[in-house]
Chain A
Amino acid sequence: MHAFEYHRPKSMKDAVSLLRKVENAKPLAGGQSLIAALKLRLASPAALIDLGGLEELRGIKLDGGTLNIGALTRHSEVASSKDVAIGIPALARLADGIGDRQIRNQGTLGGSLANNDPAADYPAAVLGLGATINTNRRAIPADKFFTGLFETALKPGEVIVSVSFPLPKRASYVKFRNAASRFALVGVFVSESAGTVRVAVTGAGKDGVFRAKNMEKRLGENFSAEAVAKTKVSPDNLGSDVHASAEYRAHLVNVLAQRAVAAAVAGK
């Protein structure tokens, strides 16, 4: 890695002020993507602003119809949280399937969302549940947050504070792993809540996570695997690389959506 400055602010105010003042500074959350990029010299920020000291960014709270999770909450904490298990069990299982044990003990929800890796799991849950991303400045609806490959609506100096997940009636996430990276080759998150069905797909889209709206429409009429099976998925906007063609990814989107719906129906 290249040399860089390291700051560990004690308050959000200090963190934001450092991010504004220090040129080419990057916020550091769990570091599970950023540190690897630094080691490979693929990223060379002049400074890292470590958010690890900001206690207000941690924690999980089930509040009426909403599950609030702090941005610095680790994947393993989400996976083992009673509140998550009660509120959105599919989210707990998703968190339990991210990376490996070391990554789950270190990686954070906010870090994953801000990075918006096109094969990450959390973006599928956030989009598939219609969650809201709360930053130090505003509340951003999931539909407006993910803007492209490794791109989000976050502005310079803007830091994710927490994410508010509305509780669905039922939901499920099914992923087909890339044999090498174990990231999602394709992952499909399905949720149903009072008349609304959301289907979010990760791993497959050329521009990152997206909603499969034709599936949502059919599932809105008939929430069953059979309804999904009849839905065509176009490979047009899907990625094609050394791991899978767009055509195969399109096929997997359909298969995994069927499985996710079946699991949601079965309450798994």
Chain B
Amino acid sequence: MNAPLIGQSIKRKEDARFLTGAGQYTDDVVLPGQTYACFLRSPHAHARIRSIDTAKARSAPGVVGVFTGEDLAAAKVGGLGCGWLITDVNGQPMKEPPHPSLAQGKVRYVGDHVAIVIAETLHQARDAAELIAVDYEVLPAVVKAGDARKPGAPTLHDDAPDNTCYVWSIGDKGAVDQAFSGAHHVTTLEFINNRLVPNAIEPRAAVASYSRADDAYTLYVANQNPHVERLLMTGLLGLAEHKLRVIAPDVGGGFGSKIYLYAEDVVVTWAAKQLNRPVKWTAERSESFLSDAHGRDHVTKAELALDKNGKFLAMRVVTTANMGAYLSTFASCIPTILYATLLAGQYTTPVIYCEVTAVFTNTTPVDAYRGAGRPEATYVVERLVETAARELKIDPAEIRRRNFIREFPYQTPVALLYDTGDYEATLAEALKVADVAGFDARRKDAERQGKLRGLGYSTYIEACGIAPSNVAGSLGARAGLFEAGEIRVHPTGSVTVFTGSHAHGQGHETTFAQVVADRLGMPIENVDIVHGDTGRILFGMGTYGSRSIAVGGTAIMKAIDKIVAKGKKIAAHMLEAAESDIEYAGGTFTVAGTDRKKTIAEVAFAAYVPHNYPLDKLEPGLNESAFYDPTNFTFPAGSHICEIEIDPDTGQTRIVNFTAIDDFGKVINPMIVEGQVHGGLAQGIGQALLEGCVYDPETGQLLTGTYMDYAMPRADDLPSFKVGTRETPCTHNPLGVKGCGEAGAIGAPAAVINAITDALWSRGVRDIEMPATPERVWRALQTKPAKKSA
């Protein structure tokens, strides 16, 4: 019998291949006769296309094809769609303007796709793209969410004359307004949640081929959910699903940006058949900046009503969310379903109202990015709570304790039903690890050296593994939210696991193998995980929203149960015992109370060489699959405490301590979980201090389109994190797991900004915009705002 594997920090199985350069990414795929594509992109944020002259490009050396939006329209290639229908406050469907894969009539953001040039070499394709003459009538652009609905703002889409996709709300406005009118204190904040560029280390890439032999396509693509890509793509191209195989091989990071069906994927797939040649496209980093779906970009006014003891009475939030120029695949549900529903946080706020206006602007489309709505919600809640604590002179930890949810299950006023949690426990642990008791002394030390110290909290909650499908469907989801898994026990007892969860940095090949090896009682070396191929995996909804272990892992668990159940039948036959007397543990089927047993390898062998086998009652083979649709979200939560030090001469903020105590439910591999938390924290801290996507407000040009101008967090921007976990197992999945991938990015921004505003509070500063650059901090220190009347 093996030692338990669940809970062990086993080294990652996939790292041998990654660290020795044996990974196979999309750009590594080379097919016979392969051609190379270059996309001509719009240099303007908003322009009418008067004409496109491709003649010179067509006759340039090596060029095998040039296509524009007209070609796609003539071929009746459909537009890119949106996977979630939001119904607005008047019961009307959201506006879904056409989103052709190559622009038709107009371009609507810098980087919008105008034409594809395909040539024998990449250089030839790029050279030829420069020969395309586009006659643009440049139109005025609008880039800021707050400007999109102003009178006189340029209109992007005829279907949405006021640039409004929808106005949506949740919660009881009447009850909220009433609670505010009688409140002892109201804390009000207005802020921007800054737009971010995802920046996965591997740029997006696609290699498409078409086989005349079987009239079918194969697409290799850097993607997080190949089955969803296939479903959407076949719809656009009018294909049956079995005619397209989507393979997402090794993928170097996604953070949400590789969930979606992108124009490039569609065009290269379509073009592969037109040319009867494989077509490869790999984004340059500048293209990633321009065309990967961005994240966040909210403008919000948020209010919290409190009684004199600091009890939260009501919350009112009004947000404008920037959708960019078109609706990306899941754009519409991010600032609604995954944002407003999280506004209860960890607290018993009895009534909450949130109104969200989603607008179109001449910018890159915005969609889910690590956290997706939940970082924005956490920022609203945790900034309000901390500011209220300071205004009421209540300790920020204490005001949280006074409002924590303590009884579960807990129904929030914004639709979610929390199954379990212990917020007090993570906070108590975080206070200890962060040595909050010693903070005053450290602050005084810093003061003596001319520095300003601050401490900020963020006790966040997130909802992962969005579910169940029928409820999501009633809220507008156009896809299922289940996951599929398959266990194939081979004749000598080794196992291949097929999962619809895609791994692109999360370490699934280890974590999932741990679960299977643990439950089947075999060495982890005997278990391999296969993912990312619609040709090998029965189905899958892919990886997003920290769902893989909770949803994909549970599907695998269900398949394991089926394997064990069938194994018992086979073992009962082999051992000449009643099936009900067979027990399974540690890789062995045993007749209860005896030493008569068969290993799973012996049972598997019998299943495939069924000489002594109940063929009349049982099919041969040991291969089982399962679909799992969760009954509820999971609710990871935790306490982050950030300690910063500011140099008032330059405004530079340094993070001196960052503590994250998280409750992810049962942890399968603590090392991998810690790595996920580190990465998430780096991205959250990046949002708070460094990253800001800036467009020129007049021209709509992306001003932060390279690493020279867009500041990504680096190792020396970050402290050595202090992380830990507390476990309250999820109540509705068999592993008790909740998910950990996004937590760091969700909790960290509020903790950092709360720390900075703590440091500056005595200087009259109440808020600072993200990213809190040295100049912003320095300016905040120069201007003394008028004292707010309480």
Binding site for B on A (CB under 8 A): 2-3, 40-41, 176, 178-181, 183, 242-245, 248, 251-252, 255
Contacts and interface: CB of A to CB of B under 8 A. Distances in A.
B711 A180 contact: yes
Interface string B532-576: 000000000000000000000000000000000000000000000
A180 B650 contact: no
Given A178-B711, A179-B690, A252-B650, 7 more contacts: A179-B717, A180-B690, A180-B708, A243-B709, A248-B774, A248-B778, A251-B778
Point out which of A176, A179, A180, A245 has the most chain B C-beta atoms below 10 A from its C-beta. Answer: A179
B616 interface: no
A181 B708 contact: yes
Question: Contact residue range for chain B?
Answer: 20 to 34
Contacts, number: 41
A3 B690 CA distance: 37
Nearest to B123: A3
Given A3-B123, A179-B711, A181-B709, A242 B778 contact: no
A242 B652 CA distance: 17
B775 A244 contact: yes
Contacts of B698: none
Nearest to A248: B775
Interface in B100-150: 123, 126-127
Contact of A40 (B286, B650, B717, B773): B286
15 contacts: A176-B774, A179-B689, A179-B690, A179-B774, A180-B707, A180-B709, A180-B711, A180-B712, A181-B707, A181-B708, A181-B709, A242-B703, A244-B775, A248-B774, A255-B649
A180 B707 CA distance: 6
Contacts of A181: 707-709
B694 interface: yes
A176 B127 contact: no
A122 B715 CA distance: 26
B779 interface: yes
A255 B127 CA distance: 48
A255 B650 contact: yes
Nearest to B649: A255
Interface in B655-709: 689-690, 694, 703-704, 707-709
B710 interface: yes
Contacts of B707: 180-181
A176 B650 CA distance: 9
Contacts of A179: 689-690, 711, 717, 773-774
B601 to A, nearest CB: 51
B779 A242 contact: no
A225 to B, nearest CB: 11
Interface string B287-306: 00000000000000000000
A248 B711 contact: no
Contacts of A243: 709
B482 to A, nearest CB: 41
A112 to B, nearest CB: 16
Contacts of A244: 775
B62 to A, nearest CB: 12
A240 to B, nearest CB: 11
Can you list the 7 inter-chain pairs with the closest CB atoms, starting with the nearest?
A180-B711, A179-B711, A181-B708, A248-B775, A242-B703, A255-B649, A242-B694
Point out which of A3, A183, A245, A251 has the most chain B C-beta atoms below 10 A from its C-beta. Answer: A251
Given A2-B127, A179-B773, A248-B775, A242 B650 contact: no
A118 to B, nearest CB: 13
A242 B775 contact: no
B696 to A, nearest CB: 9
Contacts of A251: 778
A171 B773 CA distance: 29
A3 B121 CA distance: 13
A178 B707 CA distance: 11
